[in-house]
């Protein structure tokens, strides 16, 4: 009888340890999924490495807040982070809704991309949909929070082009993208205006049947010379 009790106790300990291991494994996988796209996570788990991948067409969305330095000086650090968290969580929801992958945030800047890790041909339209929705959601959220209209105004730039995507780091993983398309999207954001979505001609050519756009002319950007830019006005009525 003592032998049976001892075996039962041993079995219970094994089962309990097994359950703890399974819970920790699930927690680790969920944490990894919160950092990396699912397909990238699966590749990392299977091969312990993620091969860099070239994409011919990715649409990069880049945004930041106008006068952020001035805004940050007028708020306590906890208040500033609370505001940023509210806005970025909102942007994450919209990005996911339109099949964009959030790449990273840098201070007050938010960067997302469509057309990866699974390639598609709708990414330009997806990115513009997301950009317009983000601007509207920001306005609505500011109104609910009682934030003056002229504060926390955001500029957005979108460009479509080739990129290379991959995972950097071995202990702190980060899914990132590189290429001229990223630099151009950043320049488009800096040349945008508060409340506007500024797009390149490459993006415009892919969304012009769906959105009314205002041509801004050729505008100089750093290290690239002049490029055609357009403000997105709104959806075309017949689409």
The proportion of the chain whose per-residue pLDDT surpasses 90, expressed as a percent, equals: 51
User: Which of 5-14, 65-74, 224-233 bottoms out in mean pLDDT, i.e. has the lowest?
Assistant: 5-14
With CA atoms as reference, report the closest residue to 84 among 19, 184, 161, 92: 92
* pTM for the model: 0.80
Task: At 68, give phi and psi (nearest 5°).
Answer: -65, -35
Q: What is the pLDDT of residues 21-55, one digit of tens each?
A: 655 555 555 555 555 656 666 666 565 666 778 99
Average pLDDT of the segment spanning 151-169: 89
In this structure, what is the dihedral angle of CA atoms 77, 83, 89, 91, given to the nearest 10 degrees? -120
CB–CB of 151/170 below 8 Å? no
The pLDDT-based confidence of 96 (bands split at 50, 70, 90) is very high
SS3 187: helix
């Amino acid at each position: 009888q003592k032998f049976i009790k001892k075996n039962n106790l041993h079995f219970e300990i094994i089962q309990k340890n097994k359950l703890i291991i399974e819970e920790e494994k699930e927690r680790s996988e969920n944490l990894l999924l919160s950092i990396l796209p699912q397909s990238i996570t699966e590749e990392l788990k299977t091969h312990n490495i993620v091969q860099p991948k070239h994409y011919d067409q990715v649409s990069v969305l880049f945004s930041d807040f106008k006068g952020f330095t001035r805004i940050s000086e007028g708020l306590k650090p906890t208040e500033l982070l609370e505001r940023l968290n509210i806005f970025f969580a909102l942007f994450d929801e919209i990005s996911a809704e339109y099949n964009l992958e959030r790449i990273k945030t840098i201070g007050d800047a938010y960067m997302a991309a469509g057309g990866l890790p699974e390639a598609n041909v709708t990414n330009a339209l997806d990115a513009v949909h997301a950009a317009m929705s983000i601007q509207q959601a920001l306005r609505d959220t500011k109104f609910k929070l009682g934030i003056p209209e002229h504060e926390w105004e955001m500029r957005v730039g979108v460009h479509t082009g080739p990129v290379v995507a991959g995972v950097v780091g071995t202990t702190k993983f980060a899914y990132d993208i590189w290429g001229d398309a990223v630099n151009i999207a950043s320049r488009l954001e800096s040349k945008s205006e508060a409340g506007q979505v500024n797009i390149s001609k490459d993006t415009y050519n892919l969304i012009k049947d769906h959105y009314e756009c205002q041509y801004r002319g050729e505008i100089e950007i750093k290290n690239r010379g002049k490029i055609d830019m357009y403000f997105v006005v709104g959806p075309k009525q017949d689409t």
